[in-house]
Structure 1
Amino acid sequence: MSADFFARHEALLNQAVAAAATRGYWSPFTEMPSPRAYGETANDDGRAAFDAQRNKPFILEGVDNKVMGGAEISPLDGALGVTYPKLTVDQVVQAAGNAWQDWRRAGPKTWVGVSLEILSRLNRASFEIAYAIHFTTGQGFMMAFQAGGPHAQDRGVEAVAYAWQEMSRIPTDVQWVKPQGKNDPISMHKHFSIVPRGLSLMIGCSTFPTWNSYPGMFASLATGNAVIVKPHPGAILPLAITVRIAREVLREAGFNPDVVTLAVHDANEATAQELALRPEVKIIDFTGSNANGTWLENHARQAQVYTEKSGVNQIVIDSADDLKGVARNIAFSLALYSGQMCTAPQNIYVPAGGIETSAGHVSFDEVATAIATAVQKLTADPSKAVEITGAIQNSVTEARIEQARALGLPILADSVALVHPQFAQANVRSPLVLRADATEPAIQKEWFGPIAFVVATESTDHSIALATDFVQKHGALSFGAYSTNPTVLKQLQDAAEFAGVALSLNLTGAVFVNQTAAFSDFHGTGANPAANAALSDSAFVANRFRVVQTRYHV
């Protein structure tokens, strides 16, 4: 059955490998929730499946359901009421370890075929997953569908493509012959086996539970490792659905479904740390805070640890043809999912003496006001704004807004509460935009959420120097800049390469600094403190397996 899965998806796999090599636009899945692509009743069916699951136990076939856990609170409308099988760390590790024995022997074609079949079925479940993400994270539904569905699945396919590419470089059997002059040559047969590392722990986050999880999950699964999926306690359901579908495919392929297991825990339990320190766990994928990511890097020494942590994302404004277009683009980036994205910009550097535009010289205050005004216009109509801002996922983020306001910095655009037209109790806030000087200590740390600083610098050179220094010290996943000067553009590119951060130049249209596209954009570089890996590249997958050889005379 599993060999059939490889044959079924081989054409798609070849397209994915080619797309990763050419880096042009390609996606195996349709990003718009259209009836033509997903079926006339797909939206209604997905919503019905989500509604039917609320206030009920989430049952995983073949899993001990005696102890249940889970207490997700929707940012939109309160408690989900869903409970999940809650296994001990020993139970999870033992189940995954037992299932891995047959899985590790199956070989690359089986691993890749099963992985792609899981992803194709996840795509068919995109609406159910989207509603689960919409209600657990507070994302607007369109973002929940796109980022949590097809775009996340794209990243999964991308990881599988890289895994296949790296594994297929290794031949299985070769005849090695060494000439010996007048004597008979030495002849040996050599067999090379792809050997997975073992158990892989995927630690999910609360804001993008599938997008941030699928790359590591499928990079590990496609290289023959068993995967323990540990969701964030605030966003379990999207990954529980993912695990359920993965287990269905594994069972059909003739494998113990515990190759993919679900590890649920309460918010006050140290399950992630306990799992991370188990000697059986050889790979860890993590997205989240600096504190937790650094702890994993320092303590889980038995594992290969891939982390995406926090950083200070920045924009440099040197000059602009279309200041209104610049302001609108930046405003959208600040408002998108209320800044609850690891790529959301925070510090916006503008020379204190102002900038040059197509309309002439513009002062710092005019630039700052243009950005603030664009934010206010974008969020003026709550019924439209909520589809962009979503809701605040965590009360800690809301408290952070008040902490930023308490800094006493001049307010350019205040954060105001917006009334969600569908969910009256949803916590929706517009971005807070503050004015700061380059010496302000607050700009040297991440303020996760709808918080931004327009920073007055001595010059563009000073802006670039600040941005470079902050990337190297604090990390960043995105870096944006605006300039009409070719010399400055080259200077910016050189600075970004030196600091190790992805750069976006002169975005004024429908592409934003906090968005990346699978098969084309590398998410993260692994070259600054915000992340030690890139999603996805060869380095992200190649160390999830090793090669063991057997040789003998013939």
Structure 2
Amino acid sequence: MARTPQSVSATPTDGGDLTRLVTRHQPLLERARTALRTREHWSPYPEDPRAYGPEAEAAGEAAFRALLGRPFELGQPGRDGTVGPAPAEGGERSPYGFELGISYPHTDPDTLLPAMAAALPAWRDAGPEVRAAVCAEILHRINARSVEFALAATHTSGHNPVMAFHAGAVHAQDRGLEAVAMALAEQTRLPARARWRKPQGDHVVDIGKTFTPVPLGISLVVANSVFPTWNGYPGLFASLATGNPVLVKPHPAAVLPLALTVRIARETLADTGFSPDLVCLAVERPGEEAARTLAVRPEIRLVDHSGTTAFGAWLVEHARQARVFTSGSAVNTLVVHSTGDYRDMLANLAFSVSLYSGQLCTSPQNLLIPRAGISTDEGHKSFEQVVADLGEALGTLLSDDNDAAAVLGALLGPAVSERVDLAQAGKLGHVAVPSRAVHHPDHPEADIRTPVVVALDAAREADRATLLTEWLGPVCFAVAVDSVDEALALLARTTRECGALSAGLYSTDREVERAMVAVCADVGVMLSVNLMGDWYISQSAVYSDLHATGLNPAGNAVYCDTDFVAGRFRTVGVRRYGGAV
């Protein structure tokens, strides 16, 4: 049975209450650090909405509805106007076909950033343990409102219900806690106090030493519209836990999930006796390009960006006063060589390319299949038969509109729809499995499409150019290759030139598997081998899997390794003669 989250009644406002807060969250943080060491399965945040109590879903729905059509207040300094509520004014429109009607405060960075800087010293001086406990409390309060967060994800990013509750809520919370636990471990690697004695002739030199983690400064989180919390929480909580104020710049199409996050963080900080200005929101007006102007300001010392590789590269080049962490575009490849369970493989592939309409950064795009076919437990299957059978598996999975909508979710916007139209029209290659429109029973205006599978040939130069481009959305390429060697060479080239976050292999041949492992190590991409059942190439297990490697153009950030947190602070030592500490 899933654990029911405990409620928190205390609102710490002094040193004693902070001590109790540290004590209350210490077991959670220690358990998270244990999971990071062992890489075992663990999560404190239940994945089943029913675990949050019989009234949670209704309460979350009511809370979400109460946000619509209203101003969203934060109480930040420097307010100089409003963004939204109409889309033309920067307001959000649900991919399911209606305007959210929420307006957000716009703030002047010349006022906001000094207020954030002024909040830093007390937060720095609180120490790693207190900061980690406050961050855990923020996440606890967010977790209690997971249904509300899931609905916010649904109606900004187009998630299906399960994806919204997982990636939009509880798994994002896991990523945040993972960063906090890792940050705590790195900041306490050195002792806070030490006594150093050295025999020196007829006496002993006695020196007391202290080691204090010192934050770099204000952190800017530049979020995307696909997974604003899942991709945003690692940087947000890694920076906050290491003592840095955080300015969150949401994508204009997906403000609400991060606005809710900032509001809860500000409330928690105030309740625990710290300045709420340690966490602020920067919503941009249409055409303002706030990320570009904010990222290069001298006050910004850290930047976390999740979005296109091109803008990540721009940030690295221009935001030279800051440490920049990037998570960008990806072209993911899966090699189909052979299988001992053909039907299970097809079902797994069908779900992998369908989940969230292929809009996941880890979704497989290029399926490389030998031109001569593959060996299976059902005998030899030709290239054409594999592609046709994949089409049948997609048809079985998505035959019912209600079921299909629950798997696919809605397309993010016109750019995704245009890519599907281009592929469906045969402009990219032979349409082996056509896409069809799916009717959502509750949201008839939602743009939902089943995947279109395009057959390509690796021997054709034009087809290779297509494969070296990210086609975010329900567009999948079945690619005929001459051999395993050609498949591995194409995977390596794609990853080196375009970046990749996942690679997959189906093979019963250990030599093929060893060759694939070697290539993936060489180009720096995580590999999944022979996934079957209900675990898919696009999934990433928090506290266990590392998301990305930092070794290819898909980005330099890894959720969550030591480098991701250790670069956000430095340690300053003090020496006192006579042993005093």
Scaled by the length of structure 1, what TM-score is found?
0.97
Q: Distance in 1 between matches of 2:232 and 2:415?
A: 22
Residue in 1 aligned with 2:254? 235
CA contact (8 A) 2:428 2:454 kept: no
1:283 pairs with one of 294, 302, 308: 302
Does residue 1:306 correspond to 2:325, yes or no? Answer: yes
Q: Distance in 1 between matches of 2:437 and 2:114?
A: 48
For residues 421-476 of structure 1, give each alpha carbon's deviation from its aligned partner in whole angstroms, at most 9, with x where no partner exists. Answer: 11011111111110001131100111111111000001112111211221122110
Does residue 1:221 correspond to 2:240, yes or no? Answer: yes
1:424-503 map, 5 Å: 424-438=444-458, 439=460, 440=463, 441-503=465-527
For residues 295-351 of structure 1, give each alpha carbon's deviation from its aligned partner in whole angstroms, at most 9, with x where no partner exists. Answer: 111111111111110011010011011222111111111111111110010000001
Letter in 2 for 1:39: G
Q: Distance in 2 between matches of 1:297 and 1:375?
A: 40
Does residue 1:57 correspond to 2:71, yes or no? Answer: yes
Tell me the percent identity. 44
Q: Distance in 1 between matches of 2:219 and 2:237?
A: 10
Does residue 1:43 correspond to 2:57, yes or no? Answer: yes
Q: Distance in 1 between matches of 2:311 and 2:21?
A: 37
Letter in 2 for 1:128: E
CA contact (8 A) 1:468 1:495 kept: yes
Question: SS of the residue aligned with 1:55?
Answer: coil
Question: SS of the residue aligned with 1:349?
Answer: strand
Q: Tell me the CA shift for residue 238 of structure 1.
A: 0.7
For residues 513-539 of structure 1, give each alpha carbon's deviation from its aligned partner in whole angstroms, at most 9, with x where no partner exists. Answer: 001110111111111111202101111
Letter in 1 for 2:380: H
CA contact (8 A) 2:309 2:555 kept: no
Q: Which runs of 5+ in 1 are unaligned?
A: none
Q: Distance in 1 between matches of 2:286 and 2:333?
A: 32
Question: SS of the residue aligned with 2:107?
Answer: coil
Q: Which runs of 5+ in 2 are unaligned?
A: 1-11, 13-17, 85-90
Q: Distance in 2 between matches of 1:156 and 1:3?
A: 22
Q: Tell me the CA shift for residue 551 of structure 1.
A: 1.3
CA contact (8 A) 2:76 2:112 kept: no
1:60-139 map, 5 Å: 60-61=74-75, 63=77, 67-70=81-84, 71-139=91-159
Name the stretch that deviates more: 56-65 or 438-447: 56-65
Residue in 2 aligned with 1:246? 265
Q: Distance in 1 between matches of 2:301 and 2:82?
A: 27
Q: Tell me the CA shift for residue 63 of structure 1.
A: 4.7
1:322 pairs with one of 341, 349, 357: 341
Name the stretch that deviates more: 38-47 or 398-407: 398-407
CA contact (8 A) 1:64 1:85 kept: no
Scaled by the length of structure 2, what TM-score is found?
0.93
Q: Distance in 1 between matches of 2:506 and 2:73?
A: 51
Question: SS of the residue aligned with 1:11?
Answer: helix
1:508 pairs with one of 522, 529, 532: 532
Q: Distance in 2 between matches of 1:6 and 1:348?
A: 49
Residue in 1 aligned with 2:548? 524
Q: Distance in 1 between matches of 2:558 and 2:428?
A: 37
Alpha-carbon RMSD: 1.3
CA contact (8 A) 2:80 2:107 kept: no
Q: Distance in 2 between matches of 1:93 and 1:376?
A: 53
Letter in 1 for 2:511: T
Number of residues of Structure 1 aligned to a counterpart in Structure 2: 551
Q: Distance in 2 between matches of 1:64 and 1:192?
A: 36
Residue in 2 aligned with 1:175? 195
1:408 to 1:193, Cα distance in 2 relative to 1, 3 A: closer
Q: Distance in 2 between matches of 1:77 and 1:7?
A: 46
For residues 86-126 of structure 1, give each alpha carbon's deviation from its aligned partner in whole angstroms, at most 9, with x where no partner exists. Answer: 10222332221122232122111111010000001110010
Q: Distance in 2 between matches of 1:417 and 1:46?
A: 30
1:335-414 map, 5 Å: 335-405=354-424, 406-414=426-434
Question: SS of the residue aligned with 1:74?
Answer: coil
Question: SS of the residue aligned with 2:41?
Answer: coil
CA contact (8 A) 1:63 1:85 kept: no
Question: SS of the residue aligned with 1:235?
Answer: coil
Residue in 1 aligned with 2:6? none
Letter in 2 for 1:10: Q
2:280 pairs with one of 261, 266, 272: 261
